Amino acid sequence: MSIPARAYLDSASAEPLHPAAHATLAAALDQGWADPRRLHHEGRRARLLLDNAREVVAEAFAVRPDEVTFTSSGTDAVHRGLLGLHRGRRTGTSAAGTLVHSAVEHSSVLHAARWTQDPVVEVPVTRTGVVTPQALRERLEQLTEAGTRASVAAIQHANHEVATIQPVAELLEELGDVPLFLDACASAGRVALPDGWAAAAASAHKWGGPAGVGVLLVRKGARWRNPFPGDDRVDERGSGFENVPAALAAAAALQAVTAERADLAARQTALVDRVRSTVAALPDVEVAGEAVQRLPHLVTFSCLYVDGEALVTELDRRGVAISSGSACTASTLEPSHVLAAMGVLTHGNVRLSLTRDSGDAEVDHLLDVLPEVVRDLRAQVGL
């Protein structure tokens, strides 16, 4: 077996820069540095590049170019999309209504919901992380019985820790006229986005674009209002000066990964299936999330009696870069809220996510060293 010098298996944190993005970024740095809202030659040239990036992204996501806004990050796009829909439901000076979100949303959604200081309702999930139509219906009925309403529902397209894809079409039937905010940061570029949402967010470094570029999508007709102080720029959905070269590089990467998506998904699905079946056979190891309705490149599993951060550290020493989605942090000492909401093992958790270049060699190396690392760590605590 050919052993790679390093097996980087953490694309869910950051996918390596796509070659298309690298080449585009280098060229755009020389052409797109000016303010795209100025009327001089340099500004008009930057505006053409920005408009081109917007059109490419719109085509990839099957939306209109004027529904695309580039933000400073995926988190920024999440905050603007969710809070903008929430604010858009205000009527006069009355309460904005109750913000509804699933129990497994990204922390950026949870922090935004708390920031509003308005009522928030959480929808539970199944043991595989699925929001069922029945669970959503029950929460909405409880609001109706209490004499209030939902302002917006935040339901991610796919989970960032366990890869489970949500049944968005079925959930939309329960929502009725309640607008849906779709966090697509984990799925954008990897699987096609569903229809029916009012606003969505994506993050370029998840698909091989440069870091520091988020994408906010707001559909025409959505009742969205800027939740933050604005400026005099034309697009009220954004904030400040767009990074035109980075936006163009992000668009180039998105266009490339969308074109190769089917073949890449098939290859990554087969590799992840191998990981899922192999690690599930290890003693006291639990694989989390849906086995079929999931993102193709990602899998999370938990090892009983093993510290997640120690497992990440020991694998790194053996040339495998992987992340821990549930390790307690020094500041909060809290395990993963996603795994806790699912009711699965939260201790000793690691998340593997393949890059576009990951192959058999990287997966073989992980599966070769993992059993020994788990045994050694358990032995250190007397097991």
CB proximity list for 13: less than 8 A, separation 6 or greater: 323, 353
- Of the residues 110, 143, 328, 367, only one is catalytic, namely 328
Identify whether 328 is a catalytic site residue. Answer: yes
Backbone φ and ψ for 241, nearest 5 degrees, come out as -85, 115
CB proximity list for 153: less than 8 A, separation 6 or greater: 100, 101, 136, 171, 175, 178, 179, 180, 181
- Quote the DSSP letter at residue 201: E
**Residue 254 · residue 209 · CB < 8 Å:** yes
Beta bridge partners of 100: 121, 153
Mapping DSSP onto H, E and C, the string for the chain reads: CCCCCCEECECCCCCCCCHHHHHHHHHHHHHCCCCCCCCCHHHHHHHHHHHHHHHHHHHHHCCCHHHEEEECCHHHHHHHHHHHHHHHCCCCCCCCCEEEEECCCCHHHHHHHHHHCCCEEEECCCCCCCCCHHHHHHHHHHHHHCCCCEEEEECCCECCCCCEECCHHHHHHHHCCCCEEEECCCCCCCCCCCCCCCEEEEEHHHCCCCCCCEEEEECCCCCCCCCCCCCCCCCCCCCCCCCHHHHHHHHHHHHHHHHCHHHHHHHHHHHHHHHHHHHHCCCCEEEECCCCCECCCEEEEEECCCCHHHHHHHHHHCCEECECCCCCCCCCCCCCHHHHHHCCCCCCEEEEECCCCCCHHHHHHHHHHHHHHHHHHHHHCCC
Residue whose structure tokens are 């070269």:
245
Dist. CA 244–CA 221, nearest whole Å: 27
Residues assigned a catalytic role: 328
